Structure 1
Amino acid sequence: MTQHVSDIMTSAPVTVEPQTSVTAVARIMRDQDLGAVLVVDGDDLRGLVTDRDLVVRAVAEGGDPEQTTVSGACSDDLVTVTPEDEVDRAIELMREHAVRRVPVVENGHPVGIVALADLAMERDPDSALGDISAAKPNT
């Protein structure tokens, strides 16, 4: 049976505007236990920022995280899928582009995100990655 991205994606992704400070985004990630948020301009997807992006592209550069905006830390060369795409397409894109998360869009507007962890829990829940992905965070 064909499985679609809509079957496993996280719906209603957390989004921020490009001018949001790195500190504010880090707090959102901490408070909502997220590793990534989508960057939007109005309803249009503009980027994706991960916790690693915040550290490598913002904090490590030495700028003030209260003054540095997420627009400089986010990835803006995105690959995306639609909810109707097959899960295998998302996997193919993740492999091809070496990414762990792919935004899900409809007409350019973000409606979800599919992560490597989602795929691991769905496809191989007994694997080490599936176990780790399903575990509560150790914060």
Structure 2
Amino acid sequence: MTRYVRDIMTGHPVTVEPLTSVTAVARVMRDRDLGAVLVTDGDELRGLVTDRDLVIRAVAEGGDPERTTVAGVCSDEEMVTVGPDDELERAVELMREHAVRRVPVVDDGRPVGIVSLGDLALERDPESALGDVSVARPDP
């Protein structure tokens, strides 16, 4: 049976605007238990920012997290996306080719979800170590 991105993606992604401060984004991630949010300008996808981006590109560089915006730290070069009707294998190929762990899902130019390496691991082998980690509750 052919599986599609829409079957496993996390829908209704959390989005922030490009001028949102790194501190504000970190709080959204903490409060919503997220590792990534999409950066949008209106309905248009501008990038993806991960918790790792915040640490490596903002904190480690010595920037002021209150004054640094996500526009300066998000991953936006060669933004890799998939559509909800793409086959899962396409998402796997793109992740492998671009060495990314998360890919925004875009429909008619608008972000509608995110598919992650953890989502794919659960789909392929729910009993795998990565599948177990992906569904584990975070430490308090």
Give the TM-score taking structure 2 as reference length. 0.98
Q: Secondary structure at the match of 2:60?
A: helix
**Cα deviations across residues 50-93 of structure 1 (Å, max 9, x unaligned)?**
00000000111111100100000100021000000000100010
Instruction: In structure 1, give the amino acid aligned to 2:100.
Output: V
Deviation at 1:135, TM superposition (A): 0.7
Which residue of 1 is the match for residue 98 of structure 2?
97
Per-residue deviation at 1:121?
A: 1.0
**Distance in 1, Cα, partners of 2:45 & 2:132:** 31
Q: Which residue of 2 aligns with 1:14?
A: 14
- Aligned position for 1:23: 23
Question: What amino acid sits opposite 2:2 in the alignment?
Answer: T
Runs (5+) with no aligned partner, structure 2: none
Q: Which amino acid aligns with 1:74?
A: C
What CA distance in whole angstroms lies between the structure 1 residues aligned with 2:115 and 2:47?
15
For 1:127 and 1:76, how far apart are their aligned partners in 2?
A: 31
Q: Secondary structure at the match of 1:61?
A: coil
Residues in 1 aligned to 2:5 and 2:112: alpha-carbon distance in whole angstroms:
11
User: Which residue identity does 2:90 align to in structure 1?
Assistant: R
Identity %: 76
Cα separation, 2, equivalents of 1:108 and 1:56? 29
User: Structure 1 segments of 4 or more deviating over 4 A?
Assistant: none
Aligned pairs, number: 139
Distance in 2 of aligned mates of 1:137 and 1:124: 21
RMSD of aligned residue pairs (Cα, Å): 0.6
Q: 1:67 & 1:113 partners in 2: Cα distance?
A: 27
Match of 2:121 in 1: 120
Structure 1, unaligned runs of 5 or more? none
AA aligned to 2:83 is: T
